[in-house]
Amino acid sequence: MALPDRFLAPPRTVAPEASAQLAAERMDNEHVGSLVVIDEHEHPVGILTDRDIALGVWWEWSQTGTWPCGSWATDGMAPAFR
Order across the sheet with 74-75: list the strands: 13-14, 34-38, 44-49, 74-75
Q: Where are the domains of the chain?
A: 11-75
* Least confidently predicted of 42-46, 59-63, 64-68, 76-80: 76-80
pLDDT reported for residue 12: 94
Q: pTM of the predicted model, to two decimals?
A: 0.68
HEC readout, the chain = CCCCHHHCCCCCEECCCCEHHHHHHHHHHHCCCEEEEECCCCCEEEEEEHHHHHHHHHHHHHHHCCCEHHHCCEECCCCCCC
For the stretch 23-51, pLDDT in tens is: 999 999 999 999 999 999 999 999 999 98
33 vs 7 pLDDT, higher one: 33
pLDDT reported for residue 82: 35
* Third-level CATH fold of 11-75: CBS-domain (3.10.580)
